[in-house]
Amino acid sequence: MSVHTLSFHDVSYALLNADYLSWIGRTFPNITKLEGLRISPSITALLSQPETIEKHLPNLKKLLMVTEKSLRQDDVSADDLKRAMRRLPCIFPSIEMCIQHSGCGEDACKMTMAYGEDGRVVDLKVESLYTPSLSLLNLMMM
């Protein structure tokens, strides 16, 4: 029996970096779906060392990343995040989709990037996840 999905659900989400991915690759070599890692503080490292990460998760198809804060509060530009997400096929050769959730409340958003077999981005969506509560909507309508 092998593990194909690995999820981290913690307020202090682990960083997406070479050391952590090396451990995951050794412990769970057949991972196809990885959820709950943070990319934002590790973007520079991610972009500068793809060759050290690539060999650890060759079967990874879906990556779901999170940030506790909005991108503005995390000192990460949306452009840097997009560049990092575009480089993911260099690190994860089988990746098909990456989803980045960030922030909460009015700043909550989701960026989804899908990749073709050649590693090129074939779809990019950015969505706001903010939904005002019904009580707030009722107040606004009065």
Burial of 81 (0-12, 13-18, 19+ CB in 10 A): buried
Domain segments of the chain: what residues? 5-141
> 114 or 81: whose pLDDT is higher?
114
For residue 131, name the pLDDT band (cuts at 50, 70, 90).
low
CB 34 within 8 A of CB 4: no
Give the pLDDT confidence of 9-23 residue by residue, as tens digits: 765 667 777 778 888
Q: Could you identify the residue written with the tokens 């503005």?
A: 72
Chain Cα centroid distance, residue 63: 6
Residue 67 has pLDDT above 80, yes or no: no
